[in-house]
Chain A
């Protein structure tokens, strides 16, 4: 394992150490649970974004896709707006809608040859539009027991949502390690042109990766709905940049071909611990964003120090 791989982990340990020393509240078991719970949605979303980043593409469609899936699921399970009561089928359908939107970004990328930066930005707007349409001015509140229970029920001290996130990370890791889709995503980031020379048609795989990412965002949207007890159009606000930040902080390269789900998960924990710790240590709310930005930059800088003097390209 190179320093590039362990660097973020070390940074995580250091930051946890610092906060633990500074704040007694941070050291408690309940706070650990709290951090895991808070990291759950981001972890799922970051799983999706990691595969896209691994290909060297970028994905900004998170807010739109999450918003669309949040509203969809809220309208399909038992809620105050209509008589639907599809339960887990509703969850599946919402994820399907999200995957469809993700597929749209992928299709626009490979068919229209528009960079993913733009297709995903466009799909985000489309997703928000669809969500607003479905929202129709009245907040759908969920009364579905299973879904609301996800945020509350605990198993071994962790909420169901956290276990879902753990499962997602595991699935993500397996996909990355053991499936053609995952390995090709990795290879596309390494040398896309070589795949073509080897007779691999990369287009379906690109579309599939965006679709899978969409499904992860969709699940993220469902999880937010479960947490908030209501379907919000803004369910995914801010998750675009925070997921990319988490992935990059964890050592997944924006240029592709490096890193992976486990790296990104470390990044997610790092970012979540920071948010949590800064509140507990009592940093002024005015400064929190700034301090967080500074630490993220510092963490990445520290991770690249070992290779800094090589004649290597940074974009």
Chain B
């Protein structure tokens, strides 16, 4: 194809619009929120800010980080995955059941299985055109039932702890392995997303699905992939929980759903899709974990703890959300 000849002069040298200080700051808001919260907790109870205490926090946060990271992809595509927690519970049961037979391969098997289940939900969403909210809400109750039935409605002990022992180790004596794995998940997914066209596709899908489709972006495949990764992350989080609890149980992770979604939103990712990132969810998950464990430990009574929790997550989102990317807040 020959080059079109254009007679008009090129526009004046394009001036680069540099981000203002304010814009730069919004990008770091999740981290700022995290630091402020940590400072506040330290003021409330100076003994909270110890190395062992921080180690415990990140160890605790690891499964939540992984869960939130996976679901972030779905949220970025404009959907939501409400099944992550139930799928994670199912994952713990599967892990505990398969470990005696599969040994070292169990981790891969569980991640593959939950990934496949996630993909199935993605396919149902894409091909049946059911809103992701409904597909995954249905998935939530179905996985709950399956987990209940196959586990015979009870926890399954994991006797062979060797398989998950490595997750309970510490890197350099302070960094829990589980958290390292969580960081790795975030880093790998972020890198893949960042350096391939995926980033464009995901954001285009999230901001404007029909435009993305008409630009022949692989919208359906991207969505299914997002659900698959979300499912796989639920599986990985399940293994982390098993390594911590030495058992699998059909309801083990059910209560992590709202914290995980909260982590995503607290990180500043737009719940309507398009804008956000995985590392924001990482910071968000740490904030949520600090609130969950920090408030009671520094001695806030349980009733006030809930009130504070409610107020602080709202305040955190008020801080972290980059509103310049969102025209309307729903």
Q: Do A and B come from one complex?
A: yes
Binding site for B on A (CB under 8 A): 55-58, 60, 64, 108-109, 112-119, 121-130, 132-133, 192-193, 241, 244-245, 248-249, 254, 256, 286-294, 296-297, 300-301, 304, 307-308, 311-315
Decide if B314 touches A119 in the complex (CB within 8 Å): yes
Q: How far is the CA of A216 from the CA of B269 in the complex (A)?
A: 31
- B128-170 to A contact mask, C-beta < 8 Å, 1/0: 1111111101111110111011000100000000000000000
Q: A313 contacts which chain B residues (CB < 8 A)? A: 209-210
Q: A64 contacts which chain B residues (CB < 8 A)? A: 310
Q: A124 contacts which chain B residues (CB < 8 A)? A: 310
Q: How far is the CA of A245 from the CA of B78 in the complex (A)?
A: 19
Decide if A300 touches B132 in the complex (CB within 8 Å): no
| B311: Cβ under 8 A from any A Cβ | yes
With A293-B137, A297-B130 known as contacts, the answer to whether A115 contacts B142 (CB < 8 A) is: no
Q: A315 contacts which chain B residues (CB < 8 A)? A: 78-79, 131-133, 209, 273
Decide if A314 touches B130 in the complex (CB within 8 Å): yes
Q: How far is the CA of A56 from the CA of B213 in the complex (A)?
A: 23
Decide if A245 touches B137 in the complex (CB within 8 Å): yes
| B199: Cβ under 8 A from any A Cβ | no
Q: How far is the CA of A108 from the CA of B313 in the complex (A)?
A: 12
8 nearest CB pairs, A to B: A290-B145, A293-B141, A125-B310, A129-B306, A129-B307, A297-B138, A122-B310, A122-B314
Q: Give min CB distance, B156 to chain A, whole Å.
A: 15
Choose one: B124, B146, B271, B304; the contact of A115 (CB below 8 Å).
B271
Q: A129 contacts which chain B residues (CB < 8 A)? A: 303-310
Choose one: B213, B261, B328; the contact of A117 (CB below 8 Å).
B261
Decide if B330 touches A56 in the complex (CB within 8 Å): yes
| B69: Cβ under 8 A from any A Cβ | no
Decide if B314 touches A108 in the complex (CB within 8 Å): yes
With A129-B304, A241-B137, A308-B128 known as contacts, the answer to whether A287 contacts B145 (CB < 8 A) is: yes
Q: How far is the CA of A125 from the CA of B303 in the complex (A)?
A: 9
Q: A291 contacts which chain B residues (CB < 8 A)? A: 145
Decide if B141 touches A112 in the complex (CB within 8 Å): no
Q: How far is the CA of A129 from the CA of B305 in the complex (A)?
A: 7
Decide if B309 touches A112 in the complex (CB within 8 Å): no
Decide if B137 touches A296 in the complex (CB within 8 Å): yes
Choose one: B142, B308, B311; the contact of A293 (CB below 8 Å).
B142
Decide if A121 touches B313 in the complex (CB within 8 Å): yes
Q: B307 contacts which chain A residues (CB < 8 A)? A: 125-126, 129-130
Q: Give min CB distance, A4 to chain B, whole Å.
A: 12
Choose one: A108, A286, A292; the contact of B148 (CB below 8 Å).
A286
Can you pick out 30 interface pairs between chain A and chain B where the beta carbons lie within 8 Å of each other?
Answer: A108-B314, A113-B321, A113-B323, A114-B317, A114-B329, A115-B321, A117-B271, A119-B314, A122-B309, A122-B314, A126-B310, A241-B137, A248-B133, A256-B330, A287-B145, A289-B145, A290-B141, A290-B144, A290-B145, A293-B137, A296-B137, A296-B138, A297-B134, A297-B135, A300-B131, A304-B128, A307-B129, A313-B210, A314-B131, A315-B133
| B318: Cβ under 8 A from any A Cβ | yes
Q: How far is the CA of A314 from the CA of B133 in the complex (A)?
A: 10
Q: Give min CB distance, A146 to chain B, whole Å.
A: 29
Nearest A residue to B128 via CB reads: A301
Choose one: A126, A192, A296; the contact of B306 (CB below 8 Å).
A126
Nearest B residue to A135 via CB reads: B303
Choose one: B133, B313, B330; the contact of A122 (CB below 8 Å).
B313
Binding site for A on B (CB under 8 A): 78-79, 124-125, 128-135, 137-142, 144-146, 148-149, 153, 209-210, 213, 258, 261-262, 265-266, 270-273, 302-311, 313-315, 317-318, 321, 323, 327-330
Decide if A286 touches B317 in the complex (CB within 8 Å): no
**11 further contact pairs, Cβ within 8 A, besides A287-B149, A315-B131:** A114-B317, A115-B265, A122-B310, A122-B313, A248-B134, A254-B133, A291-B145, A296-B134, A297-B135, A304-B130, A311-B210
Q: A301 contacts which chain B residues (CB < 8 A)? A: 124, 128, 130
Choose one: A58, A118, A248, A287; the contact of B317 (CB below 8 Å).
A118
Query: How many pairs of residues, A versus B, come closer than 8 Å at their CB atoms?
Result: 159
Nearest B residue to A57 via CB reads: B330
Nearest B residue to A126 via CB reads: B310
Nearest B residue to A55 via CB reads: B330
Q: B321 contacts which chain A residues (CB < 8 A)? A: 113-115
Q: A128 contacts which chain B residues (CB < 8 A)? A: 306
Nearest B residue to A109 via CB reads: B329
Q: Give min CB distance, B29 to chain A, whole Å.
A: 13
Decide if A123 touches B330 in the complex (CB within 8 Å): no
* Most A C-beta atoms less than 10 A away, residue of B134, B135, B153, B323: B134
* Most B C-beta atoms less than 10 A away, residue of A119, A248, A300: A300
Q: Give min CB distance, A137 to chain B, whole Å.
A: 10
Q: Give min CB distance, A19 to chain B, whole Å.
A: 19
Decide if B318 touches A114 in the complex (CB within 8 Å): yes
Nearest B residue to A256 via CB reads: B330
Q: How far is the CA of A287 from the CA of B142 in the complex (A)?
A: 8
* Most A C-beta atoms less than 10 A away, residue of B149, B153, B266, B310: B310
Nearest A residue to B152 via CB reads: A286
Q: How far is the CA of A64 from the CA of B311 in the complex (A)?
A: 13
* Most B C-beta atoms less than 10 A away, residue of A116, A287, A294, A315: A315
Q: B130 contacts which chain A residues (CB < 8 A)? A: 297, 300-301, 304, 314
Q: B311 contacts which chain A residues (CB < 8 A)? A: 122, 126
Q: Give min CB distance, A233 to chain B, whole Å.
A: 10
Nearest A residue to B314 via CB reads: A122
